[in-house]
Structure 1
Amino acid sequence: MIEVPEALARSTVEREGESGAEWIAELPGLVDELLERWGCEFDGAVMHGGVGVIVPVRRRDESSAVVKVSFPHPGNVHEPDAFAAWGGRGAVLLHERVDERFAMLAEVEDGDEVAAVAGRVGRRLAIPAPPGLPRLRERADAWEEDLRKDAVALPHSVPGRVVDAAVATVRELGRVQPDILIHGDLHAGNILRADREPWLAVDPKGYVGDPAYDGGTLLKSRALTLLEADDLPKAVHRVLDMFAEAAEIDRVRVERWAQFHAVQAAFWGRRHGFRRARGGPGLDWLIAFADRLAELLTERA
């Protein structure tokens, strides 16, 4: 029986309360049940993300895989749907799924963070979307409302023109988006080095919308690396250029979505903190960087 990582248990209970505590208590038994159901054996240390566990296993045919069990939440519903639609093309193969338990048995390869190939992976994942997946265009009204509300309600130093640029992106790009399946959270940590293909995506949100949207999630994931850059504008320019060229999508759209993501992050950090820092100097530092990035991207737009 697995031991639930302490950090996952603590964050889940803090975030979800009693329902989170109940899920954590049931998790070891659920994993045992899934391993028996799928004929797998433990094959390594239990890992975790923000919302679930990842258990390395060996299947009956001696191949490696992972059992992933996520906390039951609407945001985790469509991950297996996206994997099923891609069928291993640019993403890991989904071997088994138990949707009512938010559980999957998936292909695994050796992990390695790489941002330079995100555009190529995104291009491979951009396929006509199956029905029933969440459309990003349906979030546009809420995005605009939140941006305007936060700009008024929160103490901040984000210039009005920066907020206006993000709102314009929502209005001009967010409300009319193609029926294309995209990852939705494409960044270096969600791309694995592989044998079957050079790189494979994991942990998709399974959204439907503009492939350029993922350029913003990629840029946010590079924040710590960008902070070390001698020339921040040049470093940002290079990341977005590489992504857009490899993904074969419009560079301006990528930059506008990246600016929108940066403004969202600046306000989100003030309201909720970030996973890397919930308070104190670390949070202040990340918020200041989000502000700087949002303004930089507005100047370039």
Structure 2
Amino acid sequence: MTSPANPFTIAPGIVLPPVILQRFYNYQGRAQTDVWLESVAVKLADWCRTWRIELETIEPPDTFNVVLFGRSRQAGDIVLKISPPTFESRAELEAVRQAAGPGFVRLIEAEPAISLMMLERIRPGTALRDVGLFDEAMTRVGAAKLLEFWREPEREADLIPLERWARELLEHEPARHPQLPADLLAIGGEIARELLLAPTSRTLLHGDLHHQNILRRGDDEWVTIDPKGLIGERGYDIATWMMNPWGAPLRDDFIDIANRRLDIFAEVLGEDRARLAKWAVFHSALSLCWSLDAEQPEDPEGDVAFLRSVVRLLD
């Protein structure tokens, strides 16, 4: 029987609580995790000396990735992002590198072998969701940020093809979740195969653009953060937006909101509206599969209800 995780001091005054450590252990095993965290602690100490960083003393929140904040005398306010070394974290780092530009968060330094990044901290960092814009205005900002982000992918071996990203949906076995309406996931699977079989473009995708991944900087510019690092058809990148912000899909007028969003995305991005609707269904079905396979599913009933709603966009 595995002994409970003990707190781990990742940097002076910053302790990873047992709940986070246990999640890491469940993911990649205790021995591998302990070696990785020791390497992270050594590199953090090195960076703090080299960049003259003073870290904020906080208890990291209970999330899969660990995010720390500090101030460097050379680089200003910084964010340190620590992720278990996986193909997903490698793809994120590569996307951050490739997306370099004034409208994207700046990568200051990285240690790919241990999935450690030092990024600029966006100040004031107000999320698009929280500035009081109407939904249509926020959607136009999102569309503009996609046009700014998209580019010909480089180093494709370090990015994630949509076919791999969608594996849980493509390989879904209805018998594993008999409580679910099989017809909904079947529709999602059929649409996924149709879209992936004949893509109309191939680009570097953000993969997770929503209202909290666009932050306001002090010069009043919007800055995009937290890409997934995918490769595929441009239309997929509107899909996460359609499910956000939190609570929007539960509104009585959600279908009206979703249709207006599709109109805006089709207009600004120059994409086929009907195909964008299919990408929304694709991602909704995929998200439901992720939710069901999660260690602690968040809201499978809500995901089912959202998928039922978004399928109506195909009419």
TM-score range, shorter-chain basis?
Answer: 0.7 to 0.9
Q: CA deviation at 1:173?
A: 1.5
Distance 1:140 1:75 in 2: 10
Match of 2:25 in 1: 13
Structure 2 CA distance for aligned equivalents of residues 39 and 208 of structure 1: 37
| Cross-structure match for 2:8 | none
| 2:216 corresponding residue in structure 1 | 193
Q: Distance in 2 between matches of 1:246 and 1:43?
A: 41
CA contact (8 A) 1:182 1:206 kept: yes
Normalising to structure 2: TM-score of the pair? 0.78
Deviations 1:173-194 (A, max 9, x none): 1234433111112222322211
For 1:141 and 1:27, the matched residues in 2 are separated by: 31
Q: CA deviation at 1:77?
A: 0.4
Query: 1:126 matched to which residue of 2?
Result: 150
**AA aligned opposite 2:142:** A
Normalized per residue, the structure richer in helix is 1
Q: Does 1:79 align with 2:56?
A: no
1:146 aligns with 2:171: yes
Q: TM-score, normalised by structure 1?
A: 0.82
Q: Structure 2: which amino acid aligns with 1:56?
A: F
Q: Give unpaired runs (5+ residues) of structure 1.
A: none
Q: Is residue 270 of structure 1 aligned with residue 281 of structure 2? A: no
Q: Give the letter for the 1:259 counterpart.
A: V
How many angstroms does 1:256 deviate by? 1.1
Q: How many residues align?
A: 288
Q: Structure 2 matches for 1:44-193, cutoff 5 A?
A: 45=58, 47=60, 50-61=63-74, 63-109=76-122, 110-114=124-128, 116=138, 117-132=141-156, 133-139=158-164, 142=167, 145-147=170-172, 149=173, 151-160=174-183, 162-177=184-199, 178-193=201-216
Q: Give the drift of 1:260.
A: 1.4
Q: Deviations over 1:129-187 (max 9, x none)?
A: 1132435244288355423x2x2431134252x33432232222123443311111222
Q: Percent identity?
A: 23
Once superposed, what is the RMSD of the aligned Cα atoms? Answer: 2.9
Does 183-192 or 236-245 show the bigger shift?
236-245
- Residue 49 and residue 91 in structure 1: after superposition, are their counterparts in 2 closer, same or farther (change >3 A)? farther
Amino acid at match of 2:249: L
Counterpart amino acid of residue 203 in structure 1: D
SS in 1 for 2:118: strand
User: Partner residue of 1:287?
Assistant: 300
Gapped regions of structure 2 (runs ≥ 5): 1-11, 130-137
CA drift of 1:92 comes to 0.6
- C-alpha distance 104-272 of structure 1, shift in aligned 2 (>3 A): closer
